[in-house]
Amino acid sequence: MAEITVEFDDLPARLLDWYAAHARELPWRVGPGARAAGERPDPYRVWLAEIMLQQTTIPHGARYFQAFTDRWPTVGDLAAAEDADVMAAWAGLGYYARARNLLKCAREVAARGGFPQTAAELLELPGIGPYTAGAIAALAFDAPAAAVDGNVERVFARLMALETPWEEAKREIRVRVESLVPVDRPAEFAEGLMDLGATICTPKNPNCIICPLSDLCAARAAGEMARYPLKPKKAAKPQRYGAVFVLVGEAGIAVERRPNTGLLGGMLGLPGSDWTDAPPREPLDAAPAQADWRRVGEVRHVFTHFALSLEVWRAEGAAPEEVLAKDRLGDLPSVFKKAAKLVLS
């Protein structure tokens, strides 16, 4: 299928009109009516939400956002927090390097006296990439910056019926979006595109009938909406194996603090073996204490780059070091929480 050239001169005005009527209400957002009255969001809340919503859903991320802002209402409060407290509060959100960068960024921003206001300066902060920099600059500071996330890429891949390889297509999309950002309303434009992709131009079964841009869409004109974006097929995730040990005592279960670097760095975890390409031959060699260990089952978890299967072993006895109360399992990363729940259920 040949690429179709589409003109988007009136796209910003159409999108802004649609957004004014259909904007989602989100706890970190200042809606179009409030913006028109001069209200602006707290950059801290915008930044925190954007970091949390990477690789998770809004309903899941919103619960963490509320808990964080209740406990640490300002970037200065977060900067002064203990690392272990923040890592525990992050447990369950996944992609734990984000939590470590969250603290680094908060401390740097506090030292600066506030967030920088341009995308270029924001990019210099830990954990902030091109999309997040553009989003914070536009949403918090009304800078004429493009915020191009997966939703926006999907919308424009369909609007433009892009046939080019995906990495090249993403560059084309960014250039096109940057050319369309209205200098007087960049925040609403960015939020409108996000909402359009999240609620109408969805990955499956886009609702083209109510889309405000449907007659501009080359993919719809060709009846090929499901064809785009043309992303390469994902390679199968490699499989890894290991063993994990749940030592149960009166006060709770034995836990340990993982090294600060590497996967789940700095988080509380359960003792266990290394994660390798084959199931452990002698799993009890990695047990944290001499005890009557018995295998109770297996848990599986999928990380970004690999899938993991863990044999789960249980024993009773006094923990050699740190103990986690049984009602505090939420402090554990998901993979270890699954193992603990399997034992305690």
| Active site amino acids | 50
Distance CA 141, CA 78 (A): 21
With a CB cutoff of 8 Å and minimum separation 6, the contacts of 86 are 78, 99, 102, 103
Distance CA 308, CA 190 (A): 37
For residue 115, what are its two tokens? 């967030």
Distance CA 138, CA 261 (A): 33
* Rg of the chain (C-alpha set): 24
Look at residues 94, 91, 84, 83 and name the one whose alpha carbon lies nearest to residue 67.
91
